Amino acid sequence: MELKNKSLFEIKDLIDGGSVSSVEVTKYFLDRIEKFDSDLNSFIQVNPKALDEAKAADDKIKSGQKGRLLGLPVGIKDLLCTKDLQTTAASKMLEGFIPPYSATVVERLKQEGAIVLGKLNLDEFAMGSSNENSYFGSVKNPWNLEFVPGGSSGGSAAAVAAGLAPVTIGTDTGGSIRQPASFCGVVGVKPTYGRVSRYGIVAFASSLDQAGPLSRTVKDGALISEVISGFDQWDSTTSEREVPQWSASISGDLKGKKVGIVKEYMEAKLHKDVEAQLKRAIDSLKEAGAEIVEVSLPLSRMAIPVYYMVATSEASSNLARYDGVRYGYRASFEDRPAESVEEFYCRTRGEGFGSEVKRRIMLGTYALSSGYYDAYYKKAGQIRRLLAEEFNEAFKKADVLIGPVTATPPFKLGDRISDPLEMYLNDIFTTSANLAGIPGMSVPMGFSEQGLPIGVQLMSAAYSEQVMFDAGQAVEERANISTRLPDGY
């Protein structure tokens, strides 16, 4: 039975109807990982207990137990702690680390019966936009192995696109779910900041990080978002708001809704293929009954410098814990003992971190240093607040906003890795949602002339995910590409 292009709901119906067992489904995807992932490099590790978990799920099904994800396999980005299963953050610094507990997101998936397929590759500590910064090697785009899958959740996106997993979990600090989702032709959801617990997620930038799903369909993404959302006593930033049943209420009928086109995004220099797919998406929303209005976000032009000031500063603070003393990689001093604590730290952190991580630590440390804090980090925080207010005003005029995910289609491996500034500009349209704390998602719309996927970005007001999912459903219904897989898979 072919399951590679089926949605999570379709596979669930097959399991619930007795047409296929959880063991058969899990083995199907494990076999595909073994067959195809040597080229893609999307998985860092396969869960050796996946079939045992599937067998336990089948026993629960036979005994009449229920679960929204009972028997369904899910891939986990290797930034989320998984009890008794290695968690590396794709860094030499954490190679071999076996967490004593699982992240709240993982626990909630397992409580609903999900099977952990394995841990997915990413840019080291989630710092990157191409998945070329991993200690375990670059992930390839399944649509063309010469191109990047996007980052930092590149492994999560590539695995879904190639049919190696029906759904995966990623994290989004500045676009790290939405950008790879666009590049790989899958749905990627970044929930409202505070919807999903960060407990057990290796921290990059704590005021920006948020976990979310990558899936074949909008409805699948809505279901996973429901499961992982909700208050958590271990994360004081989580909201106590009730989590709606988005997947049950989803509708592509947008009559009476207003969709805002962001003036500044349309004035940006977009690749012609991106611009063409964005216009198609806007037409799709019109066909669904939405009224199209224009909104303005002047401070969105400042999103990149503000984001990289905030994110690198928080990264500098968060990654200070990796000192080789308490945990993490420790340099060998057998041949040449360290003559000082400073040398011990320098050698350990110099060897344990990759170049991009060290670059961001240095940028953040500088921004937080005495004499520069007010000029850089504090100023960035003030602009961030004003940007959030601009979004609040925009959502008084529109229920949902639409724009590009990136300015270009996927680029070739190696094209931008030596130019950090050009790589950072890749996040120009995604970082604003993180700074403002609002939900955003990428929905596949079409393809470039080279046959590479292009998605469009939808955003809604904080805690208003339903209208975003509805708009995503309207786009998906008219794009009609959610069941398409790359050739050869």
Instruction: Tell me the catalytic residues.
Output: 77, 152, 176
Give the 3-state secondary structure of 36-78: HHHHHCCEEEECCCHHHHHHHHHHHHHCCCCCCCCCCEEEEEC
Contact call for residues 281 and 456 (beta carbons, < 8 A): yes
Residue of 435, 381, 481 whose CA lies nearest to 175: 435
Residue of 236, 215, 110 whose CA lies nearest to 165: 215
Strands of the 400-404 sheet, one edge to the other = 43-46, 115-120, 73-77, 167-171, 211-215, 187-190, 440-447, 453-460, 400-404, 258-262, 291-295
334: its two tokens: 């057998």
Contact call for residues 178 and 188 (beta carbons, < 8 A): yes
470-489 burial, b at 16+ Cβ within 10 Å, e below that, comes to bbbbbbbebbeebebebeeb
CB count, 10 Å around CB of 301? 13
Residue of 331, 445, 423, 284 whose CA lies nearest to 92: 331
CB count, 10 Å around CB of 366? 14
User: Partners of 116 in the beta sheet?
Assistant: 74
Contact call for residues 120 and 77 (beta carbons, < 8 A): yes
**Residue 79 phi, psi (nearest 5):** -105, -10
User: What is the Cα–Cα distance from 400 to 254, expressed in whole angstroms?
Assistant: 11
What is the biggest distance separating any 2 CA atoms in the chain, rounded to whole angstroms?
72
Nearest-10 crossing angle of helices 50-62, 22-40: 160
Residue of 461, 456, 455, 458 whose CA lies nearest to 436: 461
Amino acid at 87: T
